Homo-oligomer: A and B are copies of this chain.
Amino acid sequence: MTTIYDVSRLAGVSAKTVSRVLNEPDRVKTKTREAVLEAMKSLDYSPNSMARQLRLGGGSSLGLLLEDPASGYQSRFHQALLTACMEAGKHMTVELFEGVMPDWQARVDRFLTEGRVRDLVLLPTLCDFAPLKDYLRTKGARAVLIAPSVYDTHFPAVVMDDRAASRQIIEHLFSLGHKRIGHITGHADHSASILRRSGVVEAYDAAGLPRPGPELFASGDFMFKKGIEAAEILLSLPDAPTAIFAANDETAAAVAMVAHKRGLSIPGDLSVVGFDDAPIASAVWPALTTIRQPYLEMARRVVQIIDGWEGQTRSSGNTSVFMTPHELIVRDSSGPARNRPGN
């Protein structure tokens, strides 16, 4: 690596002058500047950003640990963070954190050090991995948790109201006349799964209806494949539901696929509702009624929080939770309940 000194030597000027050519070209005589520029070119010089940052007290990047970048949630949140970072002029360093490998501490350490990360964002389910949070605290890193199952005294959280959203969906289906509604839950490790499920129950309670039997809850894991199995189970029920609310859009898409396979029309024979407003929600036919997750708003909030940390040594001790509003999007996959023999 060539340095500013090599350039200064070749150009016959002081290092400071080279620095000036780089940072305040107008304060250098044209002739000198040209000589310096030529020297830089011939030496193939490029400034050492580390030294610059050290001198200038440079900022660190926002760090994002991704457990499963193929997951719709993570990739969409990732994307929202990119946008929020761009808006705020921040940079983001991303790293895969797959499962818990034996040397995860060393990996995180290198991520913080080599990646120059001080503030990070933890998505589900990483945001619930206590050893990681402890380790981060040890290392003096700060973090924002996204939709954690449990709030943490040391890290603020940005969330949406999964329970309310879920209840809203069921009420939407009630209003269309549905009485038997199946629910495919999400992955058991995600708090959202539990919240969404309890939103379902809450809606029945609020409407003064008896809670649905356990046969109407099929377990899923937010993924397409498991969604197929779950849908098969629900639709094979002797008294099959007239509507299915899947814990996310991917699962809902699986339900739609199974329904088509069985010759059921949507929403004529079966209403299907998802959650997330993922691209797939508009890509399947018919387009899915769903809840739009406020990804971008949440990401912006994250950046705000981190911006507020500037200068502070670490996150303050008090828990703070930022709730972000969502939105029900009614598309074509939900419609009036059709009376079926037996209903």
Q: Can you list, as one digit per residue, whether each of A61-84 has a CB less than 8 Å from chain B (1) or not (0)?
A: 100001001100001001100110
Which of A45, A66, A91, A250: most chain B CB closer than 10 A? A91
Quick check: is A304 within 8 A (CB to CB) of the other chain?
Answer: no
Kindly provide the distance from the CB of A78 to the nearest chain B CB, expressed in whole angstroms. 7
Quick check: is A340 within 8 A (CB to CB) of the other chain?
Answer: no
B140-A46 in contact (CB<8A):
yes
B93-A49 in contact (CB<8A):
no
A58-B52 in contact (CB<8A):
no
Size bracket of the A interface = 35 or more
Among the listed stretches A28-36, A105-113, A206-214, which one makes contact with chain B, having 4 or more residues with CB under 8 Å of it? A105-113
Closest residue on chain B to residue A311 by CB atoms: B1
Quick check: is A341 within 8 A (CB to CB) of the other chain?
Answer: no
A284 cross-chain contacts in B, Cβ below 8 A: 257, 283-284
Kindly provide the distance from the CB of A158 to the nearest chain B CB, expressed in whole angstroms. 20
With A44-B140, A51-B54, A283-B253 already in contact, the answer to whether A95 and B116 are too (CB < 8 A) is no
Quick check: is A331 within 8 A (CB to CB) of the other chain?
Answer: no
Kindly provide the distance from the CB of A20 to the nearest chain B CB, expressed in whole angstroms. 17
A285-B314 in contact (CB<8A):
no
Quick check: is A178 within 8 A (CB to CB) of the other chain?
Answer: no
This chain: how many copies in the complex?
2
Quick check: is A280 within 8 A (CB to CB) of the other chain?
Answer: yes
Quick check: is A264 within 8 A (CB to CB) of the other chain?
Answer: no
A114-B58 in contact (CB<8A):
yes
B285-A260 in contact (CB<8A):
yes
B86-A79 in contact (CB<8A):
no
B49-A112 in contact (CB<8A):
yes
Q: Which of A278-298 contact B (CB under 8 A)?
A: 279-280, 282-285
Q: Can you list, as one digit per residue, whether each of A260-281 has a CB less than 8 Å from chain B (1) or not (0)?
A: 1100000000000000000110
A98 cross-chain contacts in B, Cβ below 8 A: 86
B46-A118 in contact (CB<8A):
yes
Q: From the candidates B66, B85, B95, B250, name the one contacting A96 in the complex (CB within 8 A).
A: B85
Q: From the candidates B53, B69, B139, B250, name the one contacting A78 in the complex (CB within 8 A).
A: B69
Q: Can you list, as one digit per residue, whether each of A179-208 has a CB less than 8 Å from chain B (1) or not (0)?
A: 000000000000000000000000000000
Quick check: is A60 within 8 A (CB to CB) of the other chain?
Answer: yes
B60-A89 in contact (CB<8A):
no
B92-A94 in contact (CB<8A):
yes
Kindly provide the distance from the CB of A45 to the nearest chain B CB, expressed in whole angstroms. 7
Which of A58, A66, A116, A282: most chain B CB closer than 10 A? A116
Q: From the candidates B44, B110, B279, name the one contacting A89 in the complex (CB within 8 A).
A: B110
